[in-house]
Amino acid sequence: MRLILASASPRRAEVLRDANIAFESLPVSIDETRWHNEAPAHLVRRLAKAKAAAVADRVSGAAIVLGADTEVIVDGDVLGKPAAVLDAREMLRRLSGRTHEVITGLELIRLPDRTTRSEQEISRVTFAPLSDAEIDTYVASGEPFDKAGGYAIQGRAGRFVTRVEGCYFNVVGLPLSRLYRTLRELGWSPD
């Protein structure tokens, strides 16, 4: 049974490749705008479901379609992908010296019967206090700009992280252990 990732995310693809999980990637474009007063848990579930459904409608044969969405939450605010240098700096200032949550919603659709599973993973990440110079150097690297919360734990920002509670891979963007168990429940086999 094929696994189809409803994403062009290089980080999710890398997690799957490193775990030796064969997959195909079918990127999909959906409106990822957060609804007014939408809870972060609802947001990630809604977006993961929309991504998976959009790809499932384009696929035939036996397959499992995987949609995922990851968000960074601090003080109840969702920190999406920074749009500009000032956004990235502000996000990193908010994360500096504090603990925040990273939440990922997963939606899996098994085809052709369209059996679905919705999952969610939450990790807590603590940053060391960051100086303005550290923030400016990190932002100048360009790494923050296509990442929720403006950082990549598996990249240069890993040096700022003092603690991770929960799944490390969730912080990268794909909670691997939860995904693997759910795939097995749906009848997928790594062989």
Catalytic site includes residue 69:
yes
The answer to whether 130 and 89 are in contact (CB under 8 A) is no
Domain spans in the chain, listed from the N-terminal domain onward: 2-185
Contacts of 95 (CB under 8 A, 6+ apart): 72, 74, 79, 127, 130, 149, 150, 151
Q: What are 82-97's pLDDT values in tens digits?
A: 999 999 999 999 999 9
As assigned by CATH, the class of the 2-185 domain is: alpha beta
pLDDT in tens, 140-172: 999 999 899 999 999 999 999 999 999 999 999
**pLDDT value of position 175:** 98
Given 18, 69, 75, 191, the catalytic residue: 69
What are the Cα distances from residue 74, in Å, to 51, 80, 91, 149?
Answer: 25, 11, 9, 9
In contact, 185 and 117? CB cutoff 8 Å? yes
Q: Where are the alpha helices (DSSP H) in the chain?
A: 10-18, 40-56, 85-95, 132-140, 168-172, 176-185
> How far is residue 119's CA from residue 117's CA, in Å, rounded to a whole number?
7
